[in-house]
Structure 1
Amino acid sequence: MASATAIALFLSLSTSAAHAEEVTAWRLFISDHADPKVTVIDAVDGGKLDTFKIKGPASLHRSESGRTVFAVQGSAGVVTGIASGISFEDHGEHGDIDVEAPKLAGLEITGKKPSHFVEHDGDFAAFFDGEGVARIISEKVVLEGKSDFREVKTDAPQHGVAVAYGSHVLLSEPNREKPDELPVGIRVADEAGAPIGGIHACPDLHGEASSGNILAFACATGLLVVSHGDGTPAIRHLPYADSLPDGKTTTLIGGRGLQYFLGNYGADKVVLIDPTLEGDAFRLISLPTRRVHFAVDPVRAKYAYVFTEDGQLHQLDVVKGEIASSLKLTDPYSMDGHWSEPRPRVAVAGDRIVVTDPLKGVLHLVDATSFEKTGDIAVEGKPFNIVSVGGSGQTHEGE
């Protein structure tokens, strides 16, 4: 009997495996520079899946899980949640993928001048500059179509930031003497916003990112590096190296697969930062012209990509700290003029690098392995900000 049961179980598992199908799905979410909309493109076949009307031009943020995308509309005073329609379930030896139609999640968080939007461990903190208030919500709640957020207040309106960090919240400290200037530090608070301890100095605070289990904030004097401490977050200051020229980082992104940060440093340079080092933590890389945008490769961990105003996309080897390849993609996009003018943005979707070309109304596709252009996708309007969601997994017949 036991033998027969084992055989039946084996046949059942074999049948299940035989009916499993490997599926790859990638979606591009693109906001327009002028029109209040988000266009969803199938990155595999180039077809348009949907267009969502929103309240204003938006910056876009995808969640770590890829299940949600958020459109932060500063001028319209609202953050809109979008369900990507792609989700994964880890089964150890393999992962399952579920693909549905993208849709508006039913979430709108309103307030004055939403700006920085930060995720940490499935909790999102939207900071509203015009109020000095962070509104925090979990991805689980967003996907349930609810708007059950909690508020944490700072002392004054500011161009600030908040991070939900376990049972704590990290909050930017406003410049009390010059309220219109950037924050001066980070304060640790409990979940209700009550301060714990003093202020961690970070003059001209602007820019934050996570890489692995480390969070960093960019300051005029270096970085504040945050890790899990004994009961409360552990925060230390990593000063800029004496060998660096005058300057500062104001935009940070975190490495995936390798623990590092990539930041701007002046108009025509980027800096690689190893947060685990005290000395030699910063490596400066000069660019041929001024930087427009940059992104890390979550699949090929040793690479990041920098787009410069001469229309070139550069493949950056973050291990060697040098530009490995360059590819001309667009007409020049000068960095002279207003900071918010339509200029290209970069995203990575599996084996493709995607670059928006807002003045031409197209997305340029680059093969991430050969670093050669492979095609274009036309998008109505001025495609501007972009995020990608997707991957590969198994689907099972009948599920």
Structure 2
Amino acid sequence: MALALLATSCAGQDGDASARKASAPASGTPHGYVEGAQEAAEQQSRLLLNDPGTGDTRVLDLITGKTHEVPRTTGASGLTTDGRFGYLHAAGGTRVIDGGAWMVDHGDHVHYYRAAIRDVGRIPGGTGAGVRSDAAVTAVTAEDGRAAVYRRAALENGEVGVSRSLSGVHASAVVPYAEHLLSLTGGPGGSTKVVVHDREGKRVASPDAGCEDPRGDAVTRRGVVFGCADGALLISEDDGTFAAEEIPYGADVPARERALSFSHRAGSDTLTAPAGDRAVWVLDVTERAWTRVETGPVLAANTAGEGAPLLVVEDDGALHGYDIATGKRVSGTERLLTVVPEARADGTPGPVVEVDRSRAYLNDPAGSRVHEIDYNDNLRVARTLDLGMKPALMVETGR
């Protein structure tokens, strides 16, 4: 596979939605060998940071504490990641940055890798584009619903490569999943239908399910979740057969309070999304259940799942922890944001909470720093990392 050439003991194991599958190497290649990279014993976490105003773009290595400058990207409206690559969305296209850290998950064991950080180049589809990846392909869906698919191997070699257009107009981001491509195609009155394509773009299935006014998506170990007007739609795969299951809110939810985008720890089946201005939705994909947690005014939210607290940045500039089952606040920090941003609907980036297996990261653009939080120790501030730039946009790679 594109990400790695692993030893025979790793080859042939079945992965899941978030797994990175690999093939066996040539005879004599050491176990875990990846060309041009070093295997590590622990997760190689890095933060990709951008200041849209100045274009200053850096990668912060959370193991060494060192920062690496990469080409500037001004006017970025958003920053997303697939665990290795960062995608800076701007009017002139999407710049691809190889964060140089990733993982290969085989379910019962994980391989961690680190390599050089580099600028891969630009791909079409800028502001508003949706970029989703698996181990073999990266799908880019433009604002107009047109989608193109890139081979992952080219990106890993430092090149954008040649794309292949996917037919049709798509109502949400095209999501690579289970060696196929999932999309929602438009229908009457804002409704959509699920369509499954193979990686060559051929339509191979269409589960009998729809999603009205789709907003937001996430890949979990249970399948792909699409946010819909009345809740969520879960698409799963078993032995080549795709099935769709609705997860309704269970009550009428005003449009302004529905889940529009999801945040979660990579590999987790617990998703979070703001529920209007003063609450957070938590979707337990395993239990197929929504929980609404009443909070203060919400600026950002996330959770590690699996019994971890719900982390919420509120308008007091502090990070608060809530017990998801009871809805009670159980922990909190002092004010961490130098300046608390006003709630704005013009696309201005707000704070971000990135979560991995042991730490959470909160960016403070006005303070030119990032806070590292131990969410298993009453939200203790483990480190404050001064940057010398305003990290308005932030994602974590190496996951």
One fold, TM greater than 0.5? yes
Q: 2:354 aligns with which of 321, 324, 347?
A: 347
Decide which of 39, 46, 50 is 2:58's aligned counterpart.
39
What are the equivalent positions in structure 2 for 1:158-237 lying under 5 Å apart? 160-166=172-178, 168-174=180-186, 184-191=191-198, 192=201, 194=203, 196-197=205-206, 200-229=209-238, 231-237=240-246
Partners in 1 of 2:122 and 2:253 — Cα distance?
A: 43
Could you say what secondary structure the match of 2:139 adopts?
strand
CA distance in 2, matches of 1:198, 1:23: 39
Post-superposition shift, 1:134?
1.3
After TM superposition, give the deviation of residue 269 of structure 1 in Å: 0.9
| Corresponding letter in the other structure for 2:299 | V
Q: Pick one of 306, 321, 325 that aligns with 2:331.
A: 325
User: Match of 1:347, SS?
Assistant: strand
Letter in 1 for 2:175: V
Q: What is aligned with 1:241?
A: 250
TM normalised by structure 2 equals: 0.76
CA–CA separation in structure 1 for the residues paired with 2:322 and 2:345: 27
User: Counterpart of 1:119?
Assistant: 133
**CA contact 1:168–1:188 (8 Å) conserved in 2:** no
| Alignment match of 1:135 (pick from 144, 148, 151) | 148
* Shift in alpha-carbon separation, 1:166–1:389, aligned structure 2, 3 A: closer
* Change in 2 beyond 3 A, CA 1:219/1:25: closer
Match of 2:314 among 308, 312, 319: 308
Structure 2: gaps of 5 or more residues? 1-38
CA distance in 2, matches of 1:305, 1:203: 29
The structure-2 alpha-carbon separation of the partners of 1:272 and 1:111, relative to structure 1 and needing over 3 Å to count, comes to closer
CA distance in 2, matches of 1:92, 1:260: 18
- Which residue of structure 2 aligns with residue 61 of structure 1? 80
Letter of the 1:312 counterpart:
A
Separation in structure 2 between the aligned mates of residue 127 and residue 92 of structure 1, nearest angstrom: 29
Offset at 1:127?
Answer: 0.9
Residue identity matched to 2:261: T
Structure 1 residues 369 and 283: CA distance shift in structure 2, 3 A: closer
Q: How big is each residue's C-alpha offset from its partner over 1:196-252, in whole Å with a ceiling of 9 and x where there is no partner?
A: 448733222101112213211111111111111564421122221138677321112
Matched-pair contact (CA < 8 Å) for 2:103–2:110: yes
SS at match of 2:153: helix
Bigger mean CA offset, 318-327 vs 362-371:
318-327
Q: 1:378: how far off?
A: 2.5
Which deviates further from its counterpart, 80-89 or 210-219? 80-89
> Does the alignment pair 1:385 with 2:393?
yes
Q: Of Structure 1 and Structure 2, which has the larger fraction of its residues in strand?
A: 1
2:101 to 83, 86, 107: 86
Would you say the 8 A contact 2:268–2:304 is kept in 1?
no
Distance 1:160 1:145 in 2: 28
Q: Residues of 2 paired with 1:151 and 1:21: CA distance?
A: 37
Q: Give the TM-score normalised by structure 1.
A: 0.76
1:374 & 1:99 partners in 2: Cα distance? 23
Q: Counterpart amino acid of 2:49?
A: I
Q: For each residue in 1:373-397, what CA deviation from the matched residue of structure 2 results, as whole angstroms up to 9, or x when unmatched? A: 2443223342112122348xxxxxx
Q: Aligned partners of 1:91 and 1:187: how far apart in 2?
A: 28
Structure 1, unmatched stretches of 5+, are 1-19, 178-182, 392-399
Aligned residues: 355
Alignment of structure 1 residues 274-289 onto 2, 5 Å? 274-277=284-287, 281-289=289-297
- Higher Cα radius of gyration: 1
Paired residue secondary structure (1:72) = strand
Residue in structure 2 matched with residue 394 of structure 1 by the alignment: none
What is the CA-CA distance between 1:271 and the residue it aligns to? Answer: 1.5
